[in-house]
Amino acid sequence: MQTIKAAVCHSFGSALEIEDVVLASPGPGEVEVTLDAVAICHSDISFAEGAWGGQLPAVYGHEAAGRVSALGRDVDGFNIGDDVLVTLIRACRHCSACTSGQPVYCATPYDGLQGPLSTPSGAPLYQAMACGAFAEKVVVSGSQIVAIPADMPKDVAALVSCGVITGVGGAVHSAKLRAGEDVVVIGAGGVGLNAIQGARIAGARRIVAVDLSAEKLDVARDFGATDTVLASDLKPWRAAIDALGGKGAEVVLITVGAIPAYAQAPRYLAPGGRAVMIGMPHSGDTAPYEPVVMAALGQGLQGSKMGDVVLQRDVPWIIDLYQQGRLKLDELISGRWSLSQINEAIADTKTGSARRNVILFDNDHP
């Protein structure tokens, strides 16, 4: 057991509080990682606002990178001092999803109340998303970490843990995008920019970015969008179809959780096209569709969780693309903050202008 600093949520929608919390030592199959960086994802914000329920008090945060500082029993392939990223993908490696190569859908439940965190008085503290990375250290399953190059900046590596693999994987794995297909990406935030990059890497013919912000659309072009459309325009799908030469897109990637984006997505599709649902709306939100149109045109809706990635396969590939200069990561970081500034960083993220804000920890590693 040790005492660390963490940002704790005591009430949905309220500011996080920086407190001392108790972190247990890693058990069998677990690792302790001393963090250098954790990025703020919109999923963290949605959870902290109560969008999907959950237990309180809780520690959120799930896009992180640091160095292994302790090992439990039966952890193979890692040593103390290894540089790693930390993800929320906790895989048992034994259920039907894991053994069929879909670890993001692992069927073995995890109870964050039984995790490594507690208050100084001994009361349970919920380890949200099996990470609890808004903290100086985490204890997670060995399945949740991936080795990274020692010279890779940790703030950059942290982004790969969720936003990058979700966007790139959504285009490459979930959508199964083929070279020459046309793509519409709704949302040009952190995940959307990575979906644009994934579409470019997969060989899309044209990539149309749709967003409410003209500034974000300018950035989208830097990441590979060939055309841009303001979502606030009357019937923006018509402008996208014009950009594609009068036809719909084979693939629409919905990277935001906004219901208007979901409601409009099928209108961008060509006959036989598919819309991939990447952004996460709040529980209870619904979107209207006219099923007969989609049925008659052979169109489909498909979910995508964490880009359907396999960590040990996809993270090294993504890092290699970054090292070659074929994938932009440094440019995704809009701001760097300390843990004491986490509420300001969250507020800045909620304005919609940030790509990714990153919390940096001043930790000295052995």
pLDDT of 1 reads 85
Same domain, 117 and 200: no
Q: What is the CATH number of the domain that holds 214?
A: 3.40.50.720
pTM of the model: 0.93
pLDDT of 366 reads 41
Same domain, 151 and 193: no
The answer to whether 175 touches 314, Cβ cutoff 8 Å, is no
Residue 138 CB-density burial (10 A; 0-12 exposed, 13-18 middle, 19+ buried): buried
Q: Which one, of 113, 119, 112, lies nearest residue 22 by Cα?
A: 119
Residue 281: domain span:
176-303
pLDDT of 29 reads 95
The answer to whether position 167 is within a domain reads no
Rounded CA-CA distance 29/76 in Å is 8
Same domain, 251 and 353: no
> What's the token pair of residue 149?
């190059």
pLDDT under 50: residue ranges of the chain = 364-366
Same domain, 72 and 157: yes
User: How does pLDDT run across 62-103, given as a tens digit for each residue?
Assistant: 999 999 999 999 999 999 999 999 999 999 999 999 999 999
pLDDT of 365 reads 44
**In this structure, what DSSP letter does residue 307 have?**
G
Rounded CA-CA distance 18/208 in Å is 41
Distances (CA, A) of 88 to 60, 81, 144, 215, 347: 11, 21, 6, 31, 23
Query: Who's near 151: CB < 8 A, 6+ residues apart?
Result: none
pLDDT of 364 reads 47
Same domain, 121 and 61: yes
Report the number of distinct structural domains present in the chain: 2
DSSP-derived 3-state class of residue 247? coil
Burial 303-331, CB ≥16 within 10 A → b, else e:
ebbbbbbbbeebbeebbebbeeeebbbee
CA dihedral defined by 94, 95, 99, 102, rounded to 10 degrees? -130
CA dihedral defined by 207, 256, 311, 110, rounded to 10 degrees? -160
The answer to whether 102 touches 308, Cβ cutoff 8 Å, is yes
Same domain, 141 and 211: no
Same domain, 145 and 8: yes
Element (H, E) at 208: strand 207-211
Rounded CA-CA distance 6/18 in Å is 6
